[in-house]
Amino acid sequence: LGHPTVGSGERAPPSEPAAMTNRQPKPFRLSSEATPYSPKYTTTQQQAAEAAAFSSLVTHLRGRLDVPNIELMILGGFCRNCLAKWYLAGAWRSGLHITYDQACERVYGMPYAEWKAAHQPKATVEQLARLEATKPFHASHPKQDPPASPAASLPHTPSLSSAEALAAGMQPMGGMGGGGGMQPGAPMGGMGGMGPMGGIAPILGMGGGMGQPMGGMGSVPMGGGMGGGEAAAVPDAPPPEQDVCCTPADEMLANMGLGPPPDGASCRPPAPAPALASLAPPPGETSLRVAVLTTSDRAAAGVYADASGAEVQRCLREYAASGAGAGWRLELAASEVVPDDADAISEVLARWADGGVANLVLTTGGTGLSPRDVTPEATLAVVERTLPGLPELLLGEALRHEPLAALSRAAAGVRGKCLIVNLPGRPRAVTQNMGALMPLLAHAVRELED
């Protein structure tokens, strides 16, 4: 893997493989300056080239149904699902808000559930052991100390004899010389015995295959041995800036600053509802004095922070700063957190509306079926006119993302010249609802002022 003498009949210096594996990958970027070896390029050309490489990789993986995801993880530290998440992140960075399922279908060529049922075999005990041993180098890793030594990180002893390894169901390492030869009937002929060096790659340990597919990988994860059963060096630290393996797609997007986390404030403006994409804002400026009321027993008791109320305010600020909200004169006039108590909720709503504190009140939380979910009842107790169209719009938009949104009982209405709208209590659901609601707010407030 990069050493000029490997496979050429010359033995590499003993220290070289360790040095090779301990190097950290550096970000690759083509130079925009012309060189004797390459012409000057444009960013668009580089992106097109990289997109073509991705497309070719996906096509190749679709054709290699014999290579399960677990082997990709063991060898490269990533699998098809990781690739789908990188594709998902790239799509979101480009403003294309596809779902993780859609990203998986792009990589697998079919829905992931179908691919898994048809092409993913049950992992063997040996595969699971090798997967566990290579886990620090997968495309996801918390901050951790480097392994003390290769042996310390392995679930089995790398110095087993060939007889012991075979008895344990594992493959002898074969070392660097005189591997298993071209075993009849074995894919790739075991890759052993390809020359005096025996093993093709000192890092991946392809030598001594004994007729196994791709050399059987030896009995040592991430390396089949450097001669006489010695394991290849394990890198000092995991590769940097990889955080997708075994991480839910929503959490991954949040970690990358591309979307709302499952249980906290988000980092990206909400996508507008498709049905409202063509709605132009009213002419001139609109003064929006907004108050945000969070209803939650636990948030009111300080058990956790008010993430949903913070998300409402973030969405408003982001929209006001965008071209779509250019006519807003936004004032975040008040915010409060109260328990799930109907009288307490009604008191705050009436105080803000009657006192002129706000011409728009957004509540978050308490809209479900739990006996403590009383925000709709408290809202309907204080409004003078109901506005059923808004909850219907928000429900229709939410159902595009979450089937359980059908259980929402959110309400909306008007008290005096103040519009009151209920929003759900989960930050991600708040973001989805705000995307549908915000294009209408200036229109609603202007009508109330007339």
In this prediction, residue 45 carries a pLDDT of 76
- Residue 33 bridge partners (DSSP): none
In this prediction, residue 383 carries a pLDDT of 98
| Helix, strand, coil distribution of the chain in percent, nearest 5 | 40, 10, 50
Percent of the chain with pLDDT over 70: 60
Say yes or no to pLDDT of 6 above 50. no
The H helix count followed by the E strand count for the chain is 15, 6
Return the higher-pLDDT residue of 12 and 47: 47
From CA 410, how far away is CA 423, in angstroms rounded? Answer: 7
What are all long-range contacts of 13-18, with beta carbons under 8 Å and residues at least 24 apart?
14/226, 17/202, 17/203, 17/226, 17/232, 17/233, 18/232, 18/233
Which domains occur in the chain, in start order? Answer: 16-217 (1.10.3340.10), 261-449 (3.40.980.10)
Mapped onto helix, strand or coil, the DSSP state of residue 360 is strand
Q: For residues 119-125, give the mean pLDDT.
A: 88
Most confident of 103-117, 314-328, 368-382, 428-442: 368-382
From CA 254, how far away is CA 431, in angstroms rounded? Answer: 13
Most confident of 19-23, 40-44, 70-74: 70-74
Question: Hey, what amino acid is at 71?
Answer: E
Strand order, beta sheet including 412-415: 328-338, 286-295, 360-364, 418-423, 412-415, 385-386
pLDDT (tens digit per residue) in 25-47: 454 455 545 555 555 666 677 77
- pLDDT band at residue 167 under the 50/70/90 scheme: very low
Which residues have CB under 8 Å from 417's CB, separation 6+?
359, 448, 449
- pLDDT band at residue 187 under the 50/70/90 scheme: very low
The rounded Cα 260 to chain-centroid distance in angstroms is: 11
Say yes or no to pLDDT of 160 above 50. no
Which segment of 11-25, 133-147, 202-216, 231-245 scores lowest on mean pLDDT?
202-216
Q: For residues 72-83, give the mean pLDDT.
A: 87
Which segment of 26-30, 184-188, 386-390 scores lowest on mean pLDDT?
184-188
Residue 18 is inside which H or E element, if any? helix 16-22
Counted residue by residue, the chain has a size of 450
Most confident of 21-35, 209-223, 243-257: 243-257
Q: For residues 120-149, give the mean pLDDT.
A: 70
Q: For residues 80-98, give the mean pLDDT.
A: 82
- pLDDT band at residue 98 under the 50/70/90 scheme: confident
Q: Taking Cα atoms as reference points, which of 421, 377, 361 lies closest to residue 395?
A: 421
Mapped onto helix, strand or coil, the DSSP state of residue 383 is coil
In this prediction, residue 178 carries a pLDDT of 37
Is residue 345 packed enough to be buried (19+ CB in 10 Å), middle (13-18) or exposed (0-12)? buried
The rounded Cα 23 to chain-centroid distance in angstroms is: 27
Helical segments of 275-326, H only = 297-300, 307-321
Q: For residues 203-220, give the mean pLDDT.
A: 36
The verdict on pTM exceeding 0.85 is: no
Q: For residues 98-123, give the mean pLDDT.
A: 88
Which segment of 129-138, 177-186, 236-245 scores lowest on mean pLDDT?
177-186
